[in-house]
């Protein structure tokens, strides 16, 4: 399970919000990759996650992206704990 801390102003980058001004929230991009890349090599998934994170202006560490990619590859659930700050 991963954990990130975000400000209340940035939450739209990470979680789906229909009213968000961001075109590619990370949660949606992750779900799409999980549906399309299950069973694919982790090394193939990591750059796609990195691109999605960059579009959402997220700064995930490489280790976090690898952990997420391994969950996608294996079909395992992945939990991301989000701590929202004022």
**Residue spans per domain, the chain:** 2-85
**DSSP helix/strand/coil, 32:** helix
pLDDT at res. 81: 73
Give the separation between CA 49 and CA 5, rounded to whole angstroms.
18
Q: What pTM was computed for the model?
A: 0.76
Dihedral sign, Cα of residue 51, residue 33, residue 59, residue 15? positive
Q: Are the beta carbons of 38 and 69 closer than 8 angstroms?
A: no
The separation between CA 7 and the C-alpha centre of its own chain, rounded to angstroms, equals 16
Q: Is the pLDDT of residue 54 over 80?
A: yes
Sequence-ordered alpha helix ranges (H) in the chain: 11-14, 26-36, 42-55, 62-74
Tens of pLDDT, residues 23-37:
557 888 899 999 999
pLDDT at res. 26: 83
Q: How confident is the model at residue 38 (pLDDT cuts 50, 70, 90)?
A: very high
Average pLDDT, rounded, for the chain: 82
């Amino acid at each position: 399970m991963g954990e990130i801390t975000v400000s209340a102003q940035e939450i739209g980058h990470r979680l789906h919000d229909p009213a968000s001004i961001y075109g590619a929230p990370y949660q949606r991009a992750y779900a799409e990759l999980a549906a399309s890349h299950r069973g694919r090599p982790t090394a193939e998934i990591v750059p796609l996650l990195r691109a999605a994170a960059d579009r959402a202006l997220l700064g995930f560490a490489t280790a976090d992206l690898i952990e997420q990619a391994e969950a996608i590859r294996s079909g395992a659930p992945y939990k991301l704990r989000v701590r929202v700050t004022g």
